Amino acid sequence: MDYIHLREMQFFGYHGVLPEETKLGQRFRASVSLAVDIQQAGLTDELNDTVSYVGVYDICKEIIEGTPYKLIEAVAEKIATTILSIYEGQVFGCKVEVIKPDPPIPGHYKEVAVEIVRGRFYE
């Protein structure tokens, strides 16, 4: 199995449970890994033989900058299910990480994040 990775995409959205999150918004980062077969694209050098990472980026942007969700778990799930639906037959598995670098909780930490895996991944 081959993989396409989009790492550390950055967006601004209004997801969260607390009122200040949905009113003021905040930064989000997302990383996506796609389990695909890209051998043909490597041989032909043709975009039609692979999954466009521009299309995947646009999906992530639309979801993260779009309709607010309370939980980043829901954001990650929406990204994964949308990618698997749009690229059915091309993407066999999808790993999505959604990172909230500045959640409004007290304490010292780098960030909070969720990571989900949907579909099939082969090692």
Tens-place pLDDT, residues 86-98: 999 999 999 999 9
The domain that contains 34 carries what CATH number?
Answer: 3.30.1130.10
The active-site residue, picked from 23, 70, 78, 100, is 100
Half-sphere exposure of 52 (CA within 13 A, CB side): 8
Instruction: Report the range of poorest mean pLDDT among 3-7, 20-24, 27-31, 89-93.
Output: 20-24
Number of domains in the chain: 1
Q: What is the pLDDT of residues 40-85, one digit of tens each?
A: 999 999 999 999 999 999 999 999 999 999 999 999 999 999 999 9
Angle 67-121-76 (CA atoms, 0-180°, nearest 5)?
15
Give the range of the structural domain holding residue 67, as residue numbers without chain letter: 2-119
Answer yes or no: 70 catalytic: no
In angstroms, the CA 42 to CA 25 distance is 40
Token pair for 120: 């099939």
Token pair for 48: 């039609």
pTM over cut 0.75: yes
| Type of residue found at 116 | I
